[in-house]
Every structure is written in C-alpha cells, then in structure tokens.
Chain A
C-alpha cells in the first residue's frame, strides 16, 4: 500500500471514527458506572456513593421478577439455537454448492426470513400455535421464531464462505483416495471451522438478545430480554443498570471466548 505522508483526510476521518466509537461505547459505560450507585442514588448522575447494593438487589428473587430463571432459559435457548443454526447452515451451504431444483427459491426464502418484520413472525407463530392447539413455549415456538432470524445469517455466511472455497482441495483429497466422509471431516471441516464458530456466535448472541420474536411466542415463562423490557416500564432504581451491566458483561465474555477459540484454531493450524 501507499507510503506517502498522512493526508488531512486521514486526520479528519480518524477524528470521525473516534467520535463514532465514543458514540457506541459512551452510553454503555454510563450505565456500567451508574450500576455501582450508592443505596440512595437514583437513575442519573451524580453518583451518590459507591456500592454493590444494586447487584445484591438483582439476585434477591423477589426484587425484580425472575432474573435467575429467565437467564437460564435465555442461555439454554441460545445454546439450542446456536447448535441448530450451525448444523443447518452448514448443510444448506453444502447443498447450495450443487445445483438442485428450488435452490433459488430456497435462497430467496432465506433472504425473506431476514427482511420480514420480526413482530409479524411473532404474531404469525403465536396465532398458528393457538389455532393448532399447541401451547407456546420458549423451547418450542420461540425456538422456531429465533431460528427464522439466525438461520438466514448462517446461510448467507456459509454461502459467502463456499463462494471463496476452491474445490481443488477436495479433489486433491479424493485423488489421494479419501472417501467423501474423510474429505469432509479432514479437509473441508478444518478449513471452514473458524467460519462455523462465527456462525455459532451469531446464533447464540442473536437469540440471547432477541426480543420482538419472543414477544408472542415465549408462552408462560419469560426470557431475559422480555424480563428486561418489562422492567423498563416499572423499575425506577439502578437495579435496571445492574442487570444491564451483568448481561453486557456476559455477552462480552461469550464474544471473547469465541474469538479466543478462533485464534487458537488458527495458531494450531499454522503450527501443525
């Protein structure tokens, strides 16, 4: 790339980028700070002392609904969505490498799944379950609703991955006498593993934070975002911020762990 001196454009855009990052993280850091608000503190600055009072408050069951239960449900649901998204997207990605009847229709169905407003899917699944006489539940109807959001992302990512994937690796493996399963497990899978982990991260976080699609489909028990949404209207203490801090921290941990795995896989591949 070019080695000339940095232009004015560079400095202007750098300032713009820094402002953008501040815009992204600024408000988030405000609620992290405010969640350590003293016992008599309110929803805004200044800090009225420092305490862990609101975090303690969060874990008292009666104080703010069912935080533990909704977290557990959201976590399990996220894990289920993640596994199904990875497997189904991988299979669909493999299918799209070949020509098959209805490939274009299926592709555009996946795109449609991305653009159909989530509240419409929520309403549709809710009414559908009601009419068939099935009880909506977070592990049934909400699970399906979340998949309509995570699968298109997974499929599009796999589509992009296989667009750039040269079939010569597999041909070489086949010429060396590998069976199709061996070619898949020892050649293809290790090469696309980082992308699959990325798809898994998307699947988990999109489901873990999904709200609109769960609205009509969760049934009796709330997921975490529904619980938080309920709190925005009736909780007026910094316990709301404490909850925000805890869930955001959890999201950061998930992202960091995923990146760690991807880097580790990359190192292992270059070494071995």
Chain B
C-alpha cells in the first residue's frame, strides 16, 4: 500500500484534477471484479441463506420461514459424525502436507544453488497440479487396487500372503489422494516466504555459533510461518469442500460434508443442502478468520 501512498503525493501538475480522474478510474477498474463477484459469489450465498429456511417436498421448494432444515441437520447424529469425519480428514491431510510441503520448499530454497535450477525443479512440482484432479485420482486405481502394482509387488516379494484390501477404497486411499492433490498449495506459499528470508540472517546465526538444526528451528521456521499459514488456508478449505476424492477413493464407504450436500442436491432437497451449506460455510470462514489473525495476507503477497 506504500506504492499507492507514493502515487498520491508524487502527482506533479494539475494535482486535484488528476487525482479526481485517478480516483474515478480506480472505481472503473475495480468495477468488473466487484460486479462478477457480486453476481456469482455474494448473490448465490444470500440465495442459499434464504433457501435454507424454505420448505420443500419431493418435487419443489416453497418460500417459507421454517427452521426445520437446521433442526434436522444439527439434530441428526449422522451429520455430526460426518462433520467429525471431514475435520479428521482435514487434520490428517493438513499435518502431512505441511510436513512434506515444508521440506520440499526448504530443499528448493536453501539447498539448490542456482535460480534456474530452482525454477526448473519448482516447475516439475507444479506441472501435475495443472492437470485434471479426477484423472490424478483415477491414476491411483492401477497402483493401489487389489491386483495393482503395490499388491503385486508385496505378494510377489512374499511380504504378505494375500493382496492387502485396505489400499484402495478406504480412508487411507482418500488421505493419500488428497495429499497427492493438494501438497502444492502448501509448497508454493512456503517456498515464497523462504525465498524472501534475508540470507545474512542465516549467516549471522552461523557466525554466532548456531548449529544448522538451531538455525532451522530458531530462524527459518519462525520466518516461514506466514507461508505455512497461507498454505494451511488453502489445504484446509480444499479438504473441507471435497466430495469427489472422498467419493471416488473411498468407493462410497466414507462420507464428507460436501458429499452429504451433493447427495441431498441429487435428491432435489435443496433447502436441506442449503442449511448444510450455511453451517459448513460458517465453520470454514471461522477457521480462515482464525488463521488470518496470525498472518496478514496483503503483506505476504
């Protein structure tokens, strides 16, 4: 925001006219974004909040003001179990992606010496994330399946007598696929903050006699926290919103909140799905608000 402040004071001649023009042009420039997000983000969310109080039957919704949808959602034991299960996925995937993401980012930022090599290796990590999520999920089937690569290898080597059944269509498969899909969202922000750490701090710590473990623990990790926080926002919100990975990788045996919503939607129970959506949205926004108290995103960009 300092750039903006400089701009305001640096204007030379015709200061007032120019600044009025600049001011209105800022509004014009921001308008398309505001209009698109207003129409396709704010309005739909308002609509969901409204519809969550409506009545419905097998065919139609009826404008009303009932709290039955919330009562049914929050009063059901299944809902609570599903929320707990989703939070469990979020916690496990968060821990794993944070661990993997930090070490990968740390390796790229501190152990690769040339910028070109850094960029090449970073791209190698990035490319799979720009391809289809569903294809990347499916690609685990020939690896983890009953007759898949892992099982063939294990049976062939005589480690297990019969194929391991829990590799595919299980919670294990769901978590593995989510880590596979979402780790980059942790690597990128952490890599970004690590690259901005002043290297002389590390030198100073070393001159002062710190071991490399102490440097890592007392200098680098504290400075990497904003990147970890941003990565956490991405990973947690993606896992909380996930239904396709849970559906495909658990073979329909596990549930997540979004999957529950999707099933309600396919039964045309929109008000019930809407009530669920409001609860999920409040939960996710509270989590993000909590993380944003630790980090100022605008400073980190």
Contact = CB atoms under 8 A, between A and B. Distances in A.
Interface of A: 1, 7, 9-10, 13-14, 16-17, 20-21, 23-28, 30-31, 34, 43-45, 84, 87-89, 91-92, 94-100, 102-103, 106-107, 109-121, 123-128, 131, 144-145, 147-148, 151, 155-156, 159-160, 162-163, 165, 167, 171, 174, 201, 205, 208-209, 211-212, 215-216, 225, 228-229, 232, 240-241, 243-244, 247-248, 251-252, 254-255, 259
A127 B48 contact: yes
A186 B145 CA distance: 57
Contact of B143 (A13, A30, A162, A241): A30
A198 to B, nearest CB: 11
B235 to A, nearest CB: 11
Given A20-B104, A167-B3, A95 B30 contact: yes
A43 B141 contact: yes
Interface string B190-219: 000000000100000000000010000000
B162 interface: no
Nearest 7 pairs of A and B residues by beta carbon: A124-B44, A117-B241, A95-B29, A144-B40, A27-B139, A95-B30, A160-B301
A232 B3 contact: no
B243 A165 contact: no
Contacts of B125: 20-21, 24
B145 A44 contact: yes
A246 to B, nearest CB: 10
B7 A167 contact: yes
Nearest to B48: A124
A189 to B, nearest CB: 14
B281 A92 contact: no
Contacts of B5: 99
A229 B47 contact: no
Contacts of A94: 26, 29
B270 interface: yes
Interface in B79-104: 100, 103-104
Nearest to B213: A9
Interface in B117-165: 121, 123-125, 127-128, 130-143, 145, 147-149, 152
Given A156-B301, A211-B244, A216-B265, A25 B33 contact: no
Nearest to B114: A1
A229 B134 contact: yes
A16 B103 contact: yes
Given A95-B27, A117-B258, A128-B44, A144 B36 contact: yes
A234 to B, nearest CB: 13
A228 B132 CA distance: 10
Interface string B17-60: 00000110011011011101101111111011001000000000
Contacts of B103: 13, 16
A113 B43 CA distance: 12
A25 B123 CA distance: 13
Contacts of A96: 4, 30
Interface size class of B (residues with CB under 8 A): 35 or more
Given A111-B297, A148-B37, 13 more contacts: A1-B113, A9-B111, A20-B100, A24-B128, A119-B262, A123-B44, A123-B48, A123-B273, A124-B47, A125-B44, A212-B243, A215-B265, A232-B137
Contacts of B285: 112, 115
B182 to A, nearest CB: 12
Contact of A205 (B108, B130, B301): B130
A251 B41 contact: no
B261 interface: yes
Interface of B: 1, 3-8, 10, 12, 22-23, 26-27, 29-30, 32-34, 36-37, 39-45, 47-48, 51, 100, 103-104, 106-108, 111, 113, 121, 123-125, 127-128, 130-143, 145, 147-149, 152, 180, 183, 199, 212, 233-234, 237, 240-241, 243-244, 248, 258, 261-262, 265, 270, 273-274, 277, 280-281, 284-285, 288, 297-298, 301
A212 B45 CA distance: 16
Contact of A117 (B26, B137, B147, B237): B237
Contacts of A243: 135
16 contacts: A1-B199, A30-B149, A44-B141, A97-B3, A100-B26, A113-B41, A115-B284, A115-B288, A117-B281, A117-B284, A123-B48, A123-B273, A124-B47, A127-B44, A144-B39, A225-B133
Nearest to B39: A144
Given A171-B10, A209-B132, A43 B145 contact: yes
Contacts of A160: 301
